[in-house]
Amino acid sequence: MSPPSSNSLWMEQLQHIAPAPPLAGDTAADVVIVGAGFTGLWTAYYLKQRAPQLDIVVLEAHSAGHGASGRNGGWVIGELAGEERLLAGLAPAARDASLALLRDIPAEVGRVLAKEGLDCDFRHGGVLYCAARYPEQAGWLRQQLAHWHAHGHGEQDFAWLEPAALQQQLRLAQPYGAVFSPHVATIQPARLVRALARRVQELGVRLYEHSAVRAIRRHEAETAHGRVRANWVLPALEAYSAGVAGVRGQQIAVQSMLIATEPLPQQLWDQIGLAHGQAFSEWSRLVSYGQRTRDNRLVFGARGGYRFRGRLRTPFVLTAAEIAMRRQLMLELFPMLAPARITHAWGGNLGVARGFAPQIVVDAANGVICAGGYGGEGVGASNLAARCMAALICGSSDDVLQIPWLTTPAQLRQWEPEPLRWLGYNAILRSFDWEDRVLRNAHSPGWQRRLAQQLARRMAGLMQ
């Protein structure tokens, strides 16, 4: 049996697209955006909706979607990583308004897709957060549900499903219950990012591919073959900011890793479920998640990794052990997939900011606005960040600006120096792995199960 392809399934499914030309020589614009992923392209789109006369340049090191935007799990989530900490200081009315903006992200994406006629397999089917491998997960989920309900969310946002109700949507080997939320959609992300690239070009945006930016300065982005002067420079690089002078250090790179099965026959899907575009996640610190694709594959991801000094992982080829770990998790949930072939195994680099919440960094004196640090939830968060940056550039007092994620370079929290980051990450990871090994073993004694959970909770607290 041939090994899985290391290409992103999403990118491999695209037809060949002729690349846009590289930047050749110096030019000027009103806005230059660095990075043709979701953040950059959504920002170009919303700027053109607000101010069609703006001259906008987008510079991309490879091709549109080459980075995290073409390599993720395909979830459009109506929330932000760390949103409770972000919104904690708001008055109740402002908090409710902010939550409404966040919950509306999948619907907003759907509205744009319908308006512009963009096809990316969009399905607004919600998400199932499942307790599915050991009984403690049901208790964790119920505690989380009570927390959500105590902080402004209703049953219409998060609702408990008993095992029988869960099995009507998703049939797991050991169902202990689930929480359903309607605020998630699934997409084929590479189709969306390439469709956005085409649409903004039709709107007059100048896209230059294979034009890696090596430095960002006051009102300027520099490549090896030319510079762009602009009133505003928007680095939209996430993890890839590590290699660009002027924004290096605002985020660190971590990795996500996924596998995909071959197309599965309908009889298997009748056993699994997911008939209405639902995403699913198994509620553990292994952070496993998945969706059913248009061509009836199961795409399944689980916790990624971190490299010393936050180095990017490229080329991204999963090891046999990394593939086996994700396949084993998948089979614990869906043992009927044991005969299914894994055809693709790939990963992507994404950005995390200190504080583990996304941010928009505004350096008005130098004309630079940078968004990112989405912590793995950037498919949806990038849309809202783009609307915020478009409003800032156009001088609007739009409601989208009420999300309190704007900051300045002077206010940024700095990451601890190495080797503390690497040691801390691995210590946290080991505690999570031990907790999972103990809890998945039905014969572990009660004292050990309690100790493993207590240690993992304390270690998780370091990620604040």
- Kindly give the confidence (pLDDT) of every residue in the chain, 464 residues in length, as a single tens digit, with 9 standing for 90 and above: 789 999 999 999 998 888 999 999 999 999 999 999 999 999 999 999 999 999 999 999 999 999 999 999 999 999 999 898 899 989 999 999 999 999 999 999 999 999 999 999 999 999 999 999 999 999 999 999 999 999 889 999 999 999 999 999 999 999 999 999 999 999 999 999 999 999 999 999 999 999 999 999 999 999 999 999 999 999 999 999 988 988 988 899 999 999 999 999 999 999 999 999 999 999 999 999 999 999 999 999 998 899 999 999 999 999 999 999 999 999 999 999 999 999 999 999 999 999 889 999 999 999 999 999 999 999 999 999 999 999 999 999 888 999 999 999 999 998 999 999 999 999 999 999 999 999 999 999 999 999 999 999 999 988 77
Same domain (yes/no): 275, 421: no
Count the domains in the chain. Answer: 2
Residue 160 domain flag: no
Q: Look-up: residue for tokens 């980051």?
A: 421
**Does residue 380 form part of some domain?**
yes
Q: Are residues 411 and 448 both part of a single domain?
A: no
- Domain range for 425 is 417-464
Residues 375, 448, single domain; the answer is no
- Asked whether residue 313 is domain-assigned, the answer is yes
Same domain (yes/no): 272, 421: no
Question: Are residues 330 and 441 both part of a single domain?
Answer: no
∠44-46-49 over CA atoms, to 5°? 110
* Nearest one of 74, 66, 69, 64 to 197, comparing CA atoms: 64
Q: Of how many residues is the chain composed?
A: 464
User: Do 324 and 437 belong to one domain?
Assistant: no
453 and 349 together in one domain: no
Is 88 in the same domain as 236? yes
Would you call 250 exposed, middle or buried from its count of C-beta atoms within 10 A (0-12, 13-18, 19+)?
buried
Kindly state whether residue 446 falls inside one of the protein's structural domains: yes
CATH code for the domain in which residue 338 is found: 3.50.50.60
* Residue 305 to residue 421: CA distance in whole angstroms: 12
Relative to beta strand 27-34, strand 56-59 is parallel
- Coil, helix or strand at residue 290: strand
Residue 362 and residue 401 in one domain: yes
- Residue 130, both tokens: 């499942």
Residues 421, 295 within the same domain: no
Q: Assess if residue 171 is contained within a domain.
A: no
The C-alpha angle 319, 325, 331, rounded to 5 degrees, equals 135
Q: What angle do CA 98, 104, 108 make, to 5 degrees?
A: 130
Is residue 321, in this structure, part of any structural domain at all? Answer: yes
Kindly state whether residues 385 and 447 are assigned to the same domain.
Answer: no
> Quick check: is 347 in a domain?
yes
Q: Does residue 392 lie within any of the structural domains?
A: yes
Q: Give the whole-angstrom CA distance, residue 374 versus residue 78.
A: 13
Considering the domain architecture, whether residues 393 and 433 belong to the same structural domain is answered as: no
Model pLDDT, residue 398: 86
